[in-house]
Chain A
Amino acid sequence: MSGPVAAERSNGGGSSDLDCDPNRFGQYRRWAGLVIFLLVVFGAPALLFRPWQGTEFDQTALDELSARQPEFVFIGNSMLETRIDPEHLSELLSGRPVTSLAVPGSQSAIWYLQLKNLVAELDQPPATIFVFFRNDLITQPLAPLDERNRELIVTLKRPDEEQFEAVLEASRSAYQQALHGLDRIYPVQRQNDEALKLISDVSAAFFPSSTTELSFRADDQFAFHNMVGPDLDPPPPDPEREFEDAVGNSFLPLMIETAAASGIELVFVRVQARPNTDGTVRETDAMRRYSQDLAAYLQDNGVRYFDFTGNPAVDRGLYYDSFHIDQLYLPDYTELFLREVAEVFNSEGLSLGQDR
């Protein structure tokens, strides 16, 4: 035993650049040093970017929207941003005002606040609001990792939003509660988008083209139509919960109620994932079931619903990735959308040209 064991013992331990030099302080001072180390390392970042906590409802957003006096308002996330060009749509509608309130990465908590505290509070509310979403996001209040939008929520919220907070709390899983807790301790992580954008901006500063131009070029270079392989994506995941279980803890009923109380027509638009190479729909059975239940629910509540899933007019070649539309085709998709939901605009007395 002595040979191997002696060799084994002599092999213990290891070193690296990050090792410490032991035995310099007394026992207690060494432990106190560790406590101070932990406090500084994990405590200092918690002090960064705290000023937002005093932020209240942002009146300027309401004033700006009021000044535009939109007839049609669009709400959603990047699904909307990459599909509808409000200026182009306005031109197609003979100059009738169209406004998009798209917030990339947002979900229905933000859409509800935009509807309730911005659009519904206008002196002259719009005729119609379109809400764009994908999968089951319309019954998911906040994305699991989307606490960064919390700052936006603060600026959209009125002082007494008990109903809003109740829905949010009820919908959070233990995992989301933990993330929410982390977010409250470390508000600095909401600077994530800004930090990553800063890297792009600094990189672009070395070149004659702007960040936007270079990002646009990168998007086009790495778009779906330039990809290797015929079929890269699996279907989007199943819904988090069945529709009936999800709707009670979502903002969907509140959105319908708010729009009805303000006399605004609410229109939900579900966008489709990029179809398969053979044109078939990329969707699981559970998601299809969810969509059918959602459609029935909206019909019962007298709300219009357009599900673009399986719509043959939305060609696979329009996509940048599995959900977003390539920005080159933004005007085309806007026109396609107008054609597909013409009845909504017709009901406003609009006459669409036949040549489009």
Chain B
Amino acid sequence: MTFQTLSFVALLLAVLALYWALGRREQNLLLLVASYVFYGYVDPLLTVLLAGFTLAMYLSALWIPHPGVAVTGKFRRRAPLLLAIAATLSVLIAFKYLGFFVDSASEFVDTIGLGTFSNTLNIILPIGISFYTLQALGYVIDVHRGRVQARRNLLDFALFISFFPQLVAGPIERASRLLPQFENRRKATPELIQSGVMLLLWGFFKKLVIADNVGVIADNVFTTESPGFALLWVGVLAFGLQIFADFSGYSDIARGTARLFGINLSQNFRHPHMARSPSDFWRRWHISLSTWFRDYVYIPLGGSRKGESRTGINLMATFLISGLWHGASWNFALWGGYHGALVVIQRLLPFSPGLKMALRPLAVPVTFLLITIGWLFFRESSLSRIWDLLSVSPADQTAESVELAAFLLVQVALYSMPIWLHTAYGALKPGVLPALASGRLSSQVQQMVLGAVFFTGILVMRRSEGGEFIYFQF
């Protein structure tokens, strides 16, 4: 089931109608049932995998010795964690990477002239698997580190793994943040519900109006054999805006839905178009994933504690893994490597404080340009075609093609205008717009006007043939 369907609206309304009349335990039970209905709506078998994985991680965490209890032998202390890691990797390899490994091996064997074999595996990727596996693994690691206590209540834990607003595309929550919310009584406040509705409207607006409309332009360009220089980069820019509107839209819908149940989910995006450097970008983009990889991969590898060269290796390794997490395809490894290289180069550049100050006005546009170039590697799955597209020269285009590209660029700018206004508002809010941003009454009127505008926009500007959320494929 996906957010932009009437089935989801019906499920949400039905659950909400009961939810606030129930006690805490019954609320959790209702949410768990709703989550499994949501997840198994298309293929009920998926819930078996979800339930099995949940049980494995639940038992692994319970098996971890309590920090205060003396345990003999390192293995006994580490075994539960290793089991959880093995379970996570097994699920991911079996359902996400096996076909990719077989394909790659087949291509390699073919390349060195040892014959060919075909990939007969036809494994369907269970939706959301990359998200809930990381969330569950993070919990077991936190228990192992003594930061979170292993939970005995299976109902609460199962809900933590499967909570439907964030089950299929995040935000990837930490146990320390989400579990206590399920374990305590939730209170409906008008402010929480209103902010939830606003997030829902803004999220749907971004997805249905912005992402789906600029997505058509990106799709057209990327399915064209020889798009020409200007058209290609308009398409790449359109895709960059599409994926932001699509994924941040999803995150806002998830957060808004959760708030209707009195649950606060993490903010996943914080004006990434205002990033001043590649590393700053990753503090603003898909925050729940980048902090997960920081805490559970980069820091355990040694982080920045073992010298510059080791830091560079750790960064590259983390970004490569993060890239492959997105999809079982070499272009995602390339995309991760590109971002790793940008962050490493940023660390190595010998900028003096004076030079940094002088270049400050260029920081945001240059970062935006570098990030936009990277979307080419994300969107195009064929490495040879990526190379072909990078080789397209400005000389290889007609005046008519340039005019068409400019025409589409204006369309992209018009459709994405609300994103830029929101970004500008976010940047200016503390200083330039204090009067507008403060005061309950003005805020209430603003929200009413904005909410009505978003809702009208969804009704009028959405595409009837809108696509699926991009991150559902991961």
Q: A14–B264 contact, CB under 8 A?
A: yes
Q: A228–B426 contact, CB under 8 A?
A: no
**Most chain A beta-carbon neighbours within 10 Å: one of B181, B222, B267, B460:** B460
Q: Is B415 an interface residue (CB 8 A)?
A: yes
Q: Hey, which chain B residues are within 8 Å of A12, CB to CB?
A: 177, 180-181, 264
Q: Hey, which chain B residues are within 8 Å of A203, CB to CB?
A: 407-408, 410-411, 414
Q: A37–B180 contact, CB under 8 A?
A: no
> Which applies to chain B's interface (DSSP): helix, strand, loop or mixed?
helix
Q: B456–A207 contact, CB under 8 A?
A: no
Q: A20–B411 contact, CB under 8 A?
A: no
Q: How far is the CA of A19 from the CA of B252 in the complex (A)?
A: 12
Q: How many positions in chain A have a CB within 8 Å of any CB in the partner chain?
A: 64
Give the contacting residue for A227; candidates B213, B224, B266, B410; CB below 8 A. B224
Q: Is B448 an interface residue (CB 8 A)?
A: yes
Q: Is A52 an interface residue (CB 8 A)?
A: no
Stretch at the interface among A213-221, A325-333, A335-343: A213-221
Q: Is B346 an interface residue (CB 8 A)?
A: no
Name the distance in Å between A318's Cβ and chain B's nearest Cβ: 18
Stretch at the interface among B94-102, B143-151, B301-309, B318-326: B143-151
Q: Hey, which chain A residues are within 8 Å of B222, CB to CB?
A: 228
Q: Hey, which chain A residues are within 8 Å of B447, CB to CB?
A: 18, 20, 37
Number of A-B contacts (CB under 8 A): 174
Q: A34–B190 contact, CB under 8 A?
A: yes
Q: Is B176 an interface residue (CB 8 A)?
A: yes
Q: Is A188 an interface residue (CB 8 A)?
A: yes
Q: Is B199 an interface residue (CB 8 A)?
A: yes
**Most chain B beta-carbon neighbours within 10 Å: one of A44, A192, A203:** A203
Q: Hey, which chain A residues are within 8 Å of B149, CB to CB?
A: 1, 4-5
Give the contacting residue for A11; candidates B174, B438, B464; CB below 8 A. B174
Contact A17 to B429, CB < 8 A, known contacts A12-B177, A12-B180, A226-B226: yes
Q: Name 9 A/B residue pairs within 8 A (Cβ), A-sorted.
A: A4-B147, A4-B149, A18-B202, A22-B189, A31-B190, A41-B197, A206-B406, A222-B220, A226-B224
- Extra pairs beyond A3-B146, A44-B456 (11, CB < 8 Å): A11-B180, A14-B264, A20-B195, A22-B191, A25-B440, A34-B194, A188-B456, A207-B406, A217-B404, A218-B220, A218-B408
Give A contacts to B, CB under 8 Å.
Answer: 1, 3-5, 7-9, 11-22, 24-25, 30-31, 33-34, 36-38, 40-42, 44-45, 48, 145, 175, 178-179, 186, 188-189, 191-192, 195-196, 199-200, 202-204, 206-209, 214, 217-218, 221-222, 226-229, 232
Give B contacts to A, CB under 8 Å.
Answer: 6, 146-149, 174-177, 179-181, 189-191, 193-195, 197-199, 201-202, 213, 220-227, 231, 255, 264-267, 385, 400-401, 403-404, 406-408, 410-411, 414-415, 422, 425-426, 429, 438, 440, 443-444, 447-448, 451-452, 455-456, 459-464
